A and B are shown apart, each in its own frame.
Chain A
Amino acid sequence: MSTTLRARAEVVRLARLLGTEPAELDHLADALPPEAIRELRDRCVEVLFDAGSERLRGAASAAALLPTPVAASLAQKAMGPVLCALLAGSVDRRRTVDIADRLPPAFLAEVAIHLDPRRVPDVVAAMAPARVAAVTEELTARSEHVTMAQFVDHLTPEALDAALAVVDDDALLRTAFLVDDPARIDRIVTELPDERVVGLLAAARTSALWFEVLAVIDELGPRAKGRLADLAVDADRQVIEELAAYAQAEGLWASVLPLVGSISPDRRGRVAKLPTFHKAAVIDAIVLAAAESDRWADLLPLVAELPAKAQRRVAASVARLDADLVQDAVAAATRAGLIDDLALVLGAMEEPDHDEVVGAAVRRTARDRTWADLLPLLAVLPPRTRRRVAEQAAALTDGDLVALVRSVDAAGLWEPWLEVIAELGHPTQERLRGPMAKLSKRALRTLDHQVDGLGLRGRLGPLHDLLDGDR
């Protein structure tokens, strides 16, 4: 969940505790992180309960004198929900549960609203699933999502299942969005049947709850995320279109990209066909989000499925990025084994973008000595890009060339590099002679075979002698 929204949820809880309207405390969400508001709330809970503790203990021992039916009647008719919530932590657990069992769900819902479940976790855990379900229905009717979210962490799996069965999709989405523990959210979504997950997406459409959907997605593990992504694709195509429109309008593509990256390969093509993903403004925003949040691994597989025109637009957007961000894209694609997809983007790049991007990439790779990232890409680059790499290599210093040869040798990536060497002019080939002459005899022998295999003999200029002479 976003920091701002967590802060707002904390404000609602604090306002309830202090008996004021959330609007009175809204300024806290603007000035403080959610953890700070929570710390303040915890301190208030402590002091409010400490302040009354002697009276509370007295009230608890007085309650212990009464038969359970009398205590239940007294709780409801004389004390009311606020005092019951106050006393819940002071009365014996078994007795509290017995009393609660005699109270109507509507009253228990009111108690729950004023109760901090962290004070009575064992009472909450001891509630029968059917009671929990009945109270959940009441809380749903009151739109008490903040309250329900607080209790989720303390329910037994059986009680949670019972509650999930009675809560509607709209309320479930709004509640899941407020749950603190990501593992719980993941468990809930994982165990929901497909039709409920589809129902959550439908609720998001009906009530414009895309922010809530994105916040929930953010907390999911890879499996749950993948399932949700596929169900979203399989559902009405409007789901993806509306989510995309929302991400575009709110600048939230960085939150949508993990979902895009979770779509299974057999469904990716369907998403790539949606007109939304062909719009220039959308493509520009997605590329920028992928670059700034380093989510290339989520985006590149989809790019590979886009129509040619949209791919050219992606290439143009990439070309407009800061050179360091392009460098990160190369590294990310290499790490994720997506160099074919990145090569495709480079292939779709028009001039002079292409020459500028490749030139900058080679210069920065030489500067940062990150050849291990760029070299695998060489193997799949189109000839035009390889030529450009060769042109740039000619401008490298001798020291850079030595580092380059060492990296090529260490990575065992001679084959694509030989193709680049073949594109170099004789003076640069001559400059490579020194560092290459230092290679082991074994490496030179391997190289010699590869030169034959690639049909490059005769195109290596002064290096030909080096290889040939070592035969």
Chain B
Amino acid sequence: MTTTTAGRDALATELEGPVPEALDPLADERLAELADLLAAAKARQAEDLAAGAEEALRFVPRLLRGPFRRALGA
């Protein structure tokens, strides 16, 4: 019998390190679901940050927009 570790591997990738041993009782498909959720949260966060920065510019006084953009790395 072979044990699938695709879910564990995916979660390790998203966690950027080994999956905590405390999660050993979980089936691999559960680990895969957690990996998907974390990946989606990361993607959402990146989008939010980008959109927030763009939106923020509307509120920044014209004078400060250049330095503000540079600080954001945009």
Answer whether A and B are interacting partners.
yes
Residue contact B52 to A44, C-beta cutoff 8 Å: no
Known: A35-B22, A74-B56, A74-B60. A50 touches B16 (CB 8 A): yes
Question: How far is it, in angstroms, between the C-alpha of A7 and the C-alpha of B49 when the chains are bound?
Answer: 31
> Which residues in A have their C-beta under 8 angstroms from that of B6?
none
Q: Does A62 contact B (CB under 8 A)?
A: yes
> Which residues in A have their C-beta under 8 angstroms from that of B14?
47
Interface digits, B47-61 against A, CB 8 Å rule (1 contact, 0 not)? 011001101101111
Q: Does B1 contact A (CB under 8 A)?
A: no
Question: How far is it, in angstroms, between the C-alpha of A28 and the C-alpha of B23 when the chains are bound?
Answer: 9
Q: Closest A residue to B54 by CB, please name it.
A: A78
Known: A32-B26, A40-B34, A66-B60. A83 touches B73 (CB 8 A): no
Q: Does A4 contact B (CB under 8 A)?
A: no
Residue contact A62 to B71, C-beta cutoff 8 Å: yes
Selected contact of A52 from candidates B45, B56, B67, CB within 8 Å: B45
Question: How far is it, in angstroms, between the C-alpha of A52 and the C-alpha of B43 when the chains are bound?
Answer: 10
Q: Does A471 contact B (CB under 8 A)?
A: no
Selected contact of A82 from candidates B48, B55, B73, CB within 8 Å: B48
> Which residues in B have their C-beta under 8 angstroms from that of A24?
37
Among listed A13-21, A264-272, A327-335, interface-contacting one:
A13-21
Question: How far is it, in angstroms, between the C-alpha of A28 and the C-alpha of B72 when the chains are bound?
Answer: 38
Interface digits, A402-413 against B, CB 8 Å rule (1 contact, 0 not)? 000000000000
Residue contact B72 to A32, C-beta cutoff 8 Å: no
Among listed A53-61, A140-148, A167-175, interface-contacting one:
A53-61
Question: How far is it, in angstroms, between the C-alpha of A90 and the C-alpha of B5 when the chains are bound?
Answer: 36
Q: In the assembled complex, how far is the CB of residue A72 from the closest CB belonging to chain B, in whole angstroms?
A: 10
Residue contact B41 to A48, C-beta cutoff 8 Å: yes
Q: Does A70 contact B (CB under 8 A)?
A: yes
Known: A47-B38, A66-B68. A52 touches B49 (CB 8 A): yes
Interface digits, B28-52 against A, CB 8 Å rule (1 contact, 0 not)? 0010001001101110111011001
Residue contact B59 to A73, C-beta cutoff 8 Å: yes
Question: How far is it, in angstroms, between the C-alpha of A32 and the C-alpha of B21 when the chains are bound?
Answer: 11
Within 8 A of A (CB), among B2-31: 14-17, 20, 22-23, 25-26, 30
> Which residues in B have their C-beta under 8 angstroms from that of A54?
73
Selected contact of B41 from candidates A17, A35, A36, A40, CB within 8 Å: A17
Q: In the assembled complex, how far is the CB of residue A118 from the closest CB belonging to chain B, in whole angstroms?
A: 18
Q: In the assembled complex, how far is the CB of residue A260 from the closest CB belonging to chain B, in whole angstroms?
A: 36
Q: Closest B residue to A73 by CB, please name it.
A: B59
Residue contact B59 to A77, C-beta cutoff 8 Å: yes
Residue contact B52 to A18, C-beta cutoff 8 Å: no
Q: In the assembled complex, how far is the CB of residue A410 from the closest CB belonging to chain B, in whole angstroms?
A: 50
Residue contact A65 to B64, C-beta cutoff 8 Å: yes
Q: Does A384 contact B (CB under 8 A)?
A: no
* A residues at B contact (CB < 8 Å): 17-20, 24, 27-28, 31-33, 35-36, 39-40, 43-44, 47-48, 50-52, 54-56, 58-59, 61-62, 64-66, 70, 73-74, 77-80, 82-83, 86
* B residues at A contact (CB < 8 Å): 14-17, 20, 22-23, 25-26, 30, 34, 37-38, 40-42, 44-46, 48-49, 52-53, 55-56, 58-61, 64, 67-68, 71-73
Kindly list 4 other residue pairs between chains A and B, CB separation below 8 angstroms, not including A43-B15, A59-B53, A64-B71: A18-B38, A20-B37, A28-B30, A32-B25
Instruction: List 19 A-B residue pairs with CB atoms under 8 Å apart, sorted by A's residue number.
Output: A19-B41, A24-B37, A32-B25, A39-B20, A40-B23, A44-B15, A47-B15, A48-B38, A48-B45, A51-B42, A55-B49, A55-B73, A59-B71, A61-B71, A64-B71, A65-B64, A70-B59, A70-B60, A73-B59
